[in-house]
Amino acid sequence: MSDARILDTGYRRYTGPRLGPRHAVRSVVASTLRRILGLRRPARNKILPVLTIVFSYVPSIVFVGVVALLSRFDSQEVESLVPKYEDYYGFIISAIVLFVTFVAPEALCPDRRYRVLSLYLASPLTRMTYLLGKATAIFAVIAMVTVGPVLLLLLGLSLQGFGPDGFLGFMGTLGRVVGAGLMLAAFYTALTVGVASLTDRRAIAAAATLLLLIGSNIVANTLHFGLDAPDEWMLLSLTLAPFQLLRRIYGAPDFEFSMATSTVILANVAWIAFGAAIAVVRYRRLQVTR
């Protein structure tokens, strides 16, 4: 005999709040951010994202510290020690590339590999809203290393009196810092999401993204420097094309390549559209199984 009792043998309708697709997308964004950053996961999952973010901010902290220590000396000499905002990315390009190869595979591949995608689609989510939530989270994480470090440098230098002149100058530089960083984040989000949508293996997706970045640079350099192709062929490089647009956002001259700004913009838009189209087509045709 047992003390168990059957109190009700029927089914009851759900009477709680129905928050709809928008809440479902926000939930996907929040859960993806936690997964990428290793939150609520073992310590080994936090090492890579934390170290990458730290490495991207260290140069800003060092430069601001140097300015604070040497501010009593000649201002021109102090300013010569600090890179321009558009040149700062040269110090953190490795962190950006590492983050780009890591975040999308970590966000997208496990859901397909372990057949969790069908559970997402059982909610108010569709394939496209699911992909939108994932891409939004990836974009936000990449923006941490494309916007945050340069923004910290701008604020630190401004507090020390070495920032842009006047309120309008500060707001103009702030707009360029945010706009250029968000452009980089959008470019590399589309790239890495497109690659990660083609496989359910995180290691393969990460390796393919890295090879694509390196391979495109090799192809562009071979065409331009080896075969004397026009400068515009360098926009095939996924490591050069977005930074060409970045320099134009800052209004910085480029003495190495002669390209029309409209061509640079079109090339970057084409790369973003290409990466996004691969992901959309892939998920529309993807067979979801339990």
pLDDT in tens, 17-29: 777 888 889 999 9
| Amino acid 268: pLDDT | 95
Name the pLDDT band for 172 (thresholds 50, 70, 90): very high
- Whether the pLDDT of residue 76 is over 90: the answer is no
Confidence category of residue 48, pLDDT binned at 50, 70, 90: confident
Residue 80: band (very low, low, confident or very high) from pLDDT cuts 50, 70, 90: confident
Residue 162 resides in a domain? yes
Element spanning 67, H or E? helix 44-70
Token pair belonging to 17: 């709040």
Angle at 177 between CA 170 and CA 163, to 5 degrees: 35
- Is 2 a member of any domain? no
Comparing 3-7, 43-47, 110-114, 250-254, which segment has the lowest mean pLDDT? 3-7
Residue range of the domain that includes 170 = 20-285
pLDDT at 14: 67
Q: Tally the domains of the chain.
A: 1
> pLDDT-based confidence at 2, cuts 50/70/90?
low
Task: Output the average pLDDT for the chain.
Answer: 87
Round to the nearest angstrom and report the end-to-end CA distance of the chain.
38
Q: Indicate whether 14 belongs to any domain.
A: no
Residue 15 lies in a domain: no
What does the pLDDT read at residue 47?
Answer: 86
pLDDT at 243: 92
In a domain, 290, yes or no: no
pLDDT in tens, 242-277: 999 999 999 887 767 888 889 999 999 999 999 999
pLDDT above 70 for 74 = no
pLDDT at 7: 65
Q: Does some domain include residue 270?
A: yes
Mean pLDDT of 56-60: 91
Alpha carbon dihedral 109, 112, 114, 116, in 10-degree steps, equals 120
- The answer to whether residue 169 is domain-embedded is yes
Q: CA-CA distance, 196 to 121, in Å (whole number)? A: 19
What burial class does residue 160 get, using C-beta atoms within 10 Å of its C-beta: 0-12 exposed, 13-18 middle, 19+ buried?
middle
pLDDT value at residue 194: 94
13 assigned to some structural domain = no
